[in-house]
Structure 1
């Protein structure tokens, strides 16, 4: 299916088993072509509350077994795979990422649902002996996992269908009901995912209200999630500012917060520089740099800085910019004017403070309204904006360091702590980095942006709290109960 065959997509919301619209709607625009792709409802708070009420009722009435939940998620994965090209074209149309990346995202969405399906069958407890404590008989006690209830899932624009699957899949696997809220810029592919889930839910006989999705103002929907007692958990991926607001106002709700990053990748002299440069460019330019764990700072041993910068320039010269629906395109448009302009401002301020443009530096104009050319910067110091702020665009700042101790210190010189990368062939150096870099993940001989969908993923400091990754998210969306059998009477 081509983008032209899609036509205009006017999607609705799903509440209590019914798809419905609203009088007020908002357009979804193509970031590269600047055309209207479709529209979604802008719902009022009462509709969100209705979705939460429906979800709470569904949890109470659901009799789905672990195998039923496995079937639901497996069937939804089948539906996603059967619509792969259509869904990929939707992702590219609303988010601007190259079609090859969009196809990979949809494929990973199906894999995430399948991994979640398997996890539904693995909600194990354990035997807990009582007699290790002095004077206690050998009573039989065990633990069991139970769902929390209603899980609210709030997702960002940059991986609009995959990140929703990362929240909804584990939540359903654990036996919860869900209410999803996709990003306003990119709601269409998320709603399409819920179409697949809704069909699968009907097929396995799930109660209405188990799966819901609403669209509208982030503050309206978010406040409803915070205020409703039936919402037991909120899983949010987005900005640190919004994440802190949720943390400060969530009371006793369980939170998973996947927030911003300023992720370092260290390149040391004992590695293949051309190979490392290719990975750094890929890690910095994927999705036009709009990835929270993308390569945002490159820390290089000063004796190889010039050589590595030259390798980066060679690698980035092969990156193509253009229409994201063209399979030959590596970088399309950024999602909206705000993201584009913030990248422009950060780049310009960094150059004004003395950084050197080794490659790129063009944006807008003939390239496209929201297109930023992949850019390599040298002579970057730790105080410059490209080093201190989250770089959410295809800008690669190279920062020289005097020794490995300085590299680790600079890697930690940030309020964030999401992921880090290190290229080295020295096992002792790798172990030092693994132990001392203050981040949720340290990746040896690859970039900070490395992620598989089953691994534990989540940062420290202002990068968030909790972990995604199917097993870890499913555990977070459930609670552990101790059941004890003690000696009774014979009466």
Structure 2
């Protein structure tokens, strides 16, 4: 495919094994220049109910073995890899991330599908030694894992392909059926994934019931409320904003809920590390995907003795990034996904500057850069009460917070309602251990940034950053139930 925006991508929804439309459609726009990419249907409440009912019927009808679920996901991975360049162009066209990053996301999606396929064969139970309690030496008990039923997968705009895989892959591996709901502004790469699933179902030597996997597009509130109200939904996996996550949690009843929400993630650069190397990682972690990553570096914490050196190194790394068209080779930072995200960042930036923050580099946005483009920007003289520090920025903004000592660094790292990930650069094992023990976050990364994530590791935050863990093995556990089976002394008769 040539280096141009993918266009004329008018796609349908997959419901009960059929690709269907709707009376209303919504456009998908290329964030960098506003060009029309394609359109998708706006699902009605009735269509969403139909998708959930189809998933429930398929769940009760399926007799796919673990090996056949492995085959389904492995073949899907192969088909995604076969279409990798096409899907990467779709991803960049709808989301705006640089094509190099889009290709990386497609590669990760293939690996995540393969990991999910392998996990389908690893739903182990355990033997429970009953003779540990007096009087039960003749009893024999073990556990087994069973699927839950229908899993709803609701995904955001920032990683529209791989985050959908992170939900439907483990759900199908565990033996469930799924209903996927991608973000309204980035649905096309997820639809491409379901196209590959549909083709994989036809390719393997097994009967995959229609409705085992479904995807509906359109209004989040319309689809979300139906998902919350429908009794057939047993589990919801949601990645997105904290307010929406809290709404789902408060209205989900007895459904199993996994919530991967926002972050305000700190990375500490201490004086005993390679400051230049750490600065390069920090800027990469703050500015990849135009900073639109839940665990991106949103606060950089440094001690007073290296303030000048650290800021200089961070500025040098930020100024080395290329800003421009996401489809051009060499572009590091491109546009943000839509006007809302862009304007939120502009407001946070302007309010912080008005409050006394100093712009060390960058600070330009819009205009000749593009209508939704914000260049990498480093701020000094920031205080914990400034919007650029206390709020989730979700953009290529790098505020540098200066502290007196390591106690203050830990305190500042925890000075947030969020608790997703954190990073620390140090060569001191005791300092590293303190950070691991005392930073209140779902993950603490030593000698790398908060943005570190692999697709098989447990990933999920504390506090307002959510509940539950993603990562294939851990998601499969969320999408399955543990049952105890006991054999006891029978009766002769």
SS in structure 1 opposite 2:238?
A: strand
Whether 1:342 and 2:344 are equivalent positions in the alignment is: yes
| Distance in 2 of aligned mates of 1:96 and 1:172 | 29
| Distance in 2 of aligned mates of 1:296 and 1:274 | 18
| Distance in 1 of aligned mates of 2:227 and 2:161 | 21
Whether 1:198 and 2:202 are equivalent positions in the alignment is: no
Q: Deviations over 1:221-262 (max 9, x none)?
A: 000110001000000000000000000000000000000000
Per the alignment, residue 446 of structure 1 pairs with 448
1:241 to 234, 240, 243: 243
| Distance in 1 of aligned mates of 2:449 and 2:304 | 19
CA contact (8 A) 1:293 1:419 kept: yes
Per the alignment, residue 133 of structure 2 pairs with 133
Per the alignment, residue 285 of structure 2 pairs with 283
Per the alignment, residue 96 of structure 1 pairs with 96
Per the alignment, residue 152 of structure 1 pairs with 152
1:4 positional shift = 3.9
CA contact (8 A) 1:3 1:93 kept: no
1:145 positional shift = 0.4
1:129 positional shift = 1.7
Q: Deviations over 1:13-60 (max 9, x none)?
A: 000000011110000000002111000000110100000000000010
1:278 positional shift = 0.3
CA contact (8 A) 1:154 1:236 kept: yes
SS in structure 1 opposite 2:130?
A: coil
1:313 positional shift = 1.0
CA contact (8 A) 1:2 1:89 kept: no
CA contact (8 A) 2:5 2:93 kept: no
1:434 positional shift = 0.1
CA contact (8 A) 1:105 1:162 kept: yes
Question: Which deviates more from structure 2 when the two are superposed, residues 416-425 or residues 195-204?
Answer: 195-204
Q: Deviations over 1:127-154 (max 9, x none)?
A: 1121211122331111100000000000
CA contact (8 A) 1:174 1:478 kept: yes
1:422 positional shift = 0.2
TM (normalized to structure 1)?
0.99
Q: Deviations over 1:397-435 (max 9, x none)?
A: 000000000000010000000000000000000000000
CA contact (8 A) 2:184 2:218 kept: yes
SS in structure 1 opposite 2:90?
A: helix
1:201 positional shift = 1.8
Per the alignment, residue 361 of structure 2 pairs with 359
Whether 1:71 and 2:61 are equivalent positions in the alignment is: no
1:6 positional shift = 3.9
| Distance in 1 of aligned mates of 2:11 and 2:268 | 44
Whether 1:119 and 2:142 are equivalent positions in the alignment is: no
1:3 positional shift = 4.8
Q: Matched residue pairs, number?
A: 491
1:198 positional shift = 1.1
Per the alignment, residue 462 of structure 1 pairs with 464
Q: Deviations over 1:74-106 (max 9, x none)?
A: 000000000000000001000000000000000
Per the alignment, residue 311 of structure 1 pairs with 313
Task: Please show how residues 85-484 of structure 1 align to structure 2 within 5 Å.
Answer: 85-204=85-204, 205-484=207-486
1:5 positional shift = 7.9
Identify unmatched segments of 5+ residues in structure 2.
Answer: none
| Distance in 1 of aligned mates of 2:212 and 2:3 | 32
Identify unmatched segments of 5+ residues in structure 1.
Answer: none
1:200 positional shift = 1.1
Per the alignment, residue 492 of structure 2 pairs with 490
TM (normalized to structure 2)?
0.99
RMSD (Å) for aligned C-alpha atoms: 0.8
| Distance in 1 of aligned mates of 2:247 and 2:442 | 21
| Distance in 1 of aligned mates of 2:329 and 2:295 | 24
CA contact (8 A) 2:37 2:93 kept: yes
| Distance in 2 of aligned mates of 1:35 and 1:393 | 22
1:2 positional shift = 2.2
| Distance in 2 of aligned mates of 1:80 and 1:302 | 49
| Distance in 1 of aligned mates of 2:89 and 2:39 | 16
Per the alignment, residue 12 of structure 1 pairs with 12
SS in structure 2 opposite 1:343?
A: helix
